[in-house]
Chain A
Amino acid sequence: MAESTRRHGTSNSADTAPTEILPVLHHSSSRHPSSVVRRLSSVIRADHAAGGSAIVAALAVLAVSGDLPFGTLAFPGAGMMPKLVCALMILLGAILVARGGASAPFTDIGWSDLPHAARVLAVTAAAVALYTTLGFIVTMSLMLFALIAFEGRNLVAAAVYSVGVSLLTYGLFTIVLKSPLEQGVLGF
């Protein structure tokens, strides 16, 4: 919690930021479009993004809730709770957008960890897709190996570690904890 707060959560240093949008738009016609985007993104705050996303998400949920009846107060239907919560999300999202100037600038958010996140996510997603087909040992060995190899570690050590850990975990769950793991088409 402290980490996230430290990075983006509590900056009150830029209360005047929303007013900066006017000069940006005023000068936009004489500038290159990419610089306009850059300037515009510099006045967007973390809470603008959070509030805007919440509103869009709530509207999307409302759009797919058409067949859920709201019911009456005497007999509320299946759609009452989701629709009330969506309305609450839109309200709170609007408050966040309106008061967004107090939050950290969107451009101040560090994205240096994005390549790491994308890599981990891609490898894990591939492993999840293969999990039921290839089974625990093969899938997890491959996943561990890929993740460690991407970190630039010694490939032989990574391979030994990956296979060893997968086999040990499989044994621990299947034999000691009597909680069998996925076997897949290969039978292990």
Chain B
Amino acid sequence: METLDSLLLGFSVALRPDVLWYGFLGCLVGTLVGVLPGIGPLSGISILLPITFGLDATKAIVMLAGIYYGSQYGGSTTSILMRIPGEASSVMTCIDGYAMARKGRAGAALCIAAVGSWIAGTFGVVVLTAIAPPLAAFALRFGPPEYTALLVLGLIFLAYMSSTSLPRTLLMAAIGLLLGTVGIDNLTGHFRYAFDIAELGDGIGIVPVAVGLFGLGEILSTPSATVVGEVMTPKLRELLPNLKEWRQSGWPIARGSVLGFLIGLTPGSAHIISSFLSYAVERKLSRHPEEFGNGAVAGVAGPESANNAASTGAFVPMLALGLPTGPVTAVLMAALIVHGVQPGPQLVNEHPDVFWGFVASMYVGNVLLLLLNLPLVGLFVNVLRIPYSYLYPLVIMFCVIGVYTVNNSIVDVWIMLIMGVLGYFLRKLGLDPAPLVLGLVISPTFELSLRQSLIMSNGYWTIFFTRPIAFVLFIIAAALLSLSLLALLRKRSDWRTKLAEAEAGEGAQ
């Protein structure tokens, strides 16, 4: 009952015309970000972050979150019509979505993707509404040792779930942790690695690193000659699937919603992993697995539902524990902090309007996206007709504006350039930059809670094993680490290797 009252408060905030307008703007921009290849939700959010500085926290987070889940909707458009994943999580949709388009069912595929995304997104918000507040109440028992254990578990979980390898993922996270130590030490006041550059006193910001690694890095490794594509434009009357297609999409949407939400709760590229797993599950369960790759409806409905549910699931640890599970939630957290709102267990009590307004806006946002994506699909597709050689300079310009405007600091823009180069080389070496951003975000909290724990215990590491919650979290982390090390030593293919191989195979098609 209390939750229902709070949700009503949320709707009273989310349905205010000004909040609704920013929610709509976020969904619109998010759909465009999803449609355009080369601009992911992370760069989209980072670039537009400074625009939200003039807004209050509720409008800012509603708009930025709209970009995030809007991009999951928009990513399916290019996948189905051009066989180009606008967003990494839409890779699986390319296979059967494009095959459906070739059979003249492009409209039906788009409609199933949009409806599946809407159902999964709404399901995710319903579960989030139910579990986030009790989880936050539980997290109030956390002190520095528990936070240290939780962050260690988060990093180990990220490495375990990664489809590359444990050492690679942890190495990236370690680089992020190291970058996070630049600047003034909060406990002693020491300047660390500032090299007499005053701007580095506050540390390295998330925005220049994220925009550099993902935005500029992507552009550097994408010459315009490689971006070609034939655009199909479905007619409005072709958008409705037939009865058989609706029947075939029902269970995949339901399974994708549950699977996606559960995976979304875990650290890592959950929205990407969930779509791959959903595709594998649907192919396994199908009575006609031979249809997969040739236009199976379940191959569109399942992955599209899963990636949207995962995007919503990722908000649970962010809002309830103050723990980002990926780079996008890390940037959203940074956006809240910029507005003076600290995500975490206290958020529900200290800023109920922000928390519940944000939750309610997701219900509204999912409806807006459904309305936006179906009738306006032809309009979004036209954006793809802009030549890439005109588009990428524009993206670079917005990267520069986005990074510079955060602190009016040219040093930040230089950091973005350096990170762009780093991102380019990381791609060349097959290293995923996402754990680096995550490491950078959690670094200050991790260092502070670790040192506070040691000070509390007068230097005894045993503090982590004498407090029950911290102990359990460390045991889980140790179990995951052991499982990964076992697979590493046996050099045996486990599910993650198979997932990576599937990704490589599908991506190469």
Instruction: Flag whether B272 is at the interface (Cβ < 8 A).
Output: yes
When C-beta atoms are compared, the residue in chain A nearest to B176 turns out to be A85
Chain B residues contacting A93 (CB-CB under 8 Å) are 171
**A-B contacts, CB under 8 A, total:** 215
Question: In the complex, A109→B427 CA distance in Å?
Answer: 10
Mask, B413-442, CB within 8 Å of A = 1, is 110010011001011111110100000000
The stretch of B58-66, B473-481, B501-509 in contact with A is B501-509
Question: In the complex, A128→B399 CA distance in Å?
Answer: 11
When C-beta atoms are compared, the residue in chain B nearest to A46 turns out to be B429
Q: Does A169 contact B401, Cβ atoms closer than 8 Å?
A: yes
Question: In the complex, A88→B454 CA distance in Å?
Answer: 19
Q: Which of A51, A104, A109, A148 contacts B393 (CB 8 A)?
A: A148
Q: Which of A5, A54, A58, A111 contacts B163 (CB 8 A)?
A: A5
Instruction: Flag whether A138 is at the interface (Cβ < 8 A).
Output: no
When C-beta atoms are compared, the residue in chain A nearest to B54 turns out to be A178
Instruction: Flag whether B468 is at the interface (Cβ < 8 A).
Output: no
**A-side interface mostly:** helix
Chain A residues contacting B497 (CB-CB under 8 Å) are 10
* Interface residues contributed by chain A, number (CB under 8 Å): 79
How far does the Cβ of A70 sit from chain B's closest Cβ, in whole Å?
Answer: 12
Mask, B453-464, CB within 8 Å of A = 1, is 011001111000
When C-beta atoms are compared, the residue in chain B nearest to A75 turns out to be B455
Chain B residues contacting A18 (CB-CB under 8 Å) are none
Chain A residues contacting B459 (CB-CB under 8 Å) are 72-75
The stretch of B27-35, B219-227, B352-360 in contact with A is B219-227
Q: Does A92 contact B392, Cβ atoms closer than 8 Å?
A: no
Q: Which of B168, B220, B394, B460 contacts A121 (CB 8 A)?
A: B220
Q: Does B508 contact A6, Cβ atoms closer than 8 Å?
A: yes
The stretch of A19-27, A33-41, A139-147 in contact with B is A139-147
Interface residues of B in 404-419 (CB under 8 A from A): 404-405, 408, 410, 413-414, 417
The stretch of B113-121, B131-139, B183-191, B304-312 in contact with A is B183-191
Q: Does A128 contact B507, Cβ atoms closer than 8 Å?
A: no
Question: In the complex, A79→B497 CA distance in Å?
Answer: 37
Q: Does A116 contact B168, Cβ atoms closer than 8 Å?
A: no
Instruction: Flag whether B319 is at the interface (Cβ < 8 A).
Output: no
Q: Does B503 contact A6, Cβ atoms closer than 8 Å?
A: yes
Chain A residues contacting B85 (CB-CB under 8 Å) are 2
Instruction: Flag whether A156 is at the interface (Cβ < 8 A).
Output: no
Instruction: Flag whether B174 is at the interface (Cβ < 8 A).
Output: yes
Contact (A6, B507) CB under 8 Å given A50-B429, A73-B454: yes
Chain B residues contacting A50 (CB-CB under 8 Å) are 168, 171, 429, 431
When C-beta atoms are compared, the residue in chain A nearest to B217 turns out to be A117
Q: Does A144 contact B397, Cβ atoms closer than 8 Å?
A: yes
Q: Does A2 contact B504, Cβ atoms closer than 8 Å?
A: yes
Q: Does B450 contact A144, Cβ atoms closer than 8 Å?
A: no
Mask, A72-84, CB within 8 Å of B = 1, is 1111111111100
Instruction: Flag whether B342 is at the interface (Cβ < 8 A).
Output: no
How far does the Cβ of A175 sit from chain B's closest Cβ, in whole Å?
Answer: 13
Mask, A99-134, CB within 8 Å of B = 1, is 100111000010111001100110011011001100
Question: In the complex, A149→B2 CA distance in Å?
Answer: 61
Q: Does A7 contact B167, Cβ atoms closer than 8 Å?
A: no
Contact (A1, B193) CB under 8 Å given A6-B507, A92-B170: no
Q: Does B429 contact A10, Cβ atoms closer than 8 Å?
A: no
Q: Does A78 contact B454, Cβ atoms closer than 8 Å?
A: no
Instruction: Flag whether B301 is at the interface (Cβ < 8 A).
Output: no
Chain A residues contacting B443 (CB-CB under 8 Å) are 81
Q: Does B223 contact A181, Cβ atoms closer than 8 Å?
A: no
Contact (A177, B51) CB under 8 Å given A54-B171, A113-B222, A182-B404: yes
Instruction: Flag whether B245 is at the interface (Cβ < 8 A).
Output: no
How far does the Cβ of A141 sit from chain B's closest Cβ, in whole Å?
Answer: 10
Instruction: Flag whether B389 is at the interface (Cβ < 8 A).
Output: yes
Q: Which of A2, A92, A125, A143 contacts B507 (CB 8 A)?
A: A2
Q: Does A128 contact B414, Cβ atoms closer than 8 Å?
A: yes
How far does the Cβ of A7 sit from chain B's closest Cβ, in whole Å?
Answer: 7
When C-beta atoms are compared, the residue in chain A nearest to B178 turns out to be A85
Instruction: Flag whether B175 is at the interface (Cβ < 8 A).
Output: yes
Among B50, B187, B220, B426, residue most surrounded by chain A Cβ atoms (within 10 Å):
B220
Question: In the complex, A54→B431 CA distance in Å?
Answer: 12
Question: In the complex, A76→B187 CA distance in Å?
Answer: 9
Instruction: Flag whether B91 is at the interface (Cβ < 8 A).
Output: yes
Contact (A2, B503) CB under 8 Å given A78-B187, A86-B178, A143-B396: yes
When C-beta atoms are compared, the residue in chain B nearest to A147 turns out to be B393
When C-beta atoms are compared, the residue in chain B nearest to A54 turns out to be B171
Question: In the complex, A124→B460 CA distance in Å?
Answer: 50
Question: In the complex, A125→B458 CA distance in Å?
Answer: 49
Mask, B469-505, CB within 8 Å of A = 1, is 0000000000000000000100100000100110110
Chain A residues contacting B220 (CB-CB under 8 Å) are 113, 116-117, 120-121
Beyond A49-B429, A165-B397, 13 additional contacts (C-beta under 8 Å) are A1-B432, A4-B430, A46-B429, A47-B168, A76-B450, A76-B454, A78-B188, A109-B428, A113-B226, A124-B400, A140-B397, A165-B394, A179-B50
Q: Which residues of B contact A (CB under 8 A)?
A: 50-51, 53-54, 85, 88, 91, 163-164, 167-168, 170-171, 174-175, 177-178, 181, 185, 187-188, 190, 192-193, 216, 219-224, 226, 269, 272, 387, 389-390, 392-394, 396-397, 400-401, 404-405, 408, 410, 413-414, 417, 420-421, 424, 426-432, 434, 443, 447, 450-451, 454-455, 458-461, 488, 491, 497, 500-501, 503-504, 506-508
CB pairs A–B below 8 angstroms (12 shown): A7-B430, A50-B431, A73-B459, A78-B192, A82-B181, A89-B178, A99-B488, A112-B223, A121-B420, A124-B417, A131-B410, A147-B392
Please name the 7 residue pairs, one residue from A and one from B, whose CB atoms are nearest each other, closest first: A9-B430, A73-B459, A74-B459, A8-B430, A78-B190, A151-B389, A2-B507
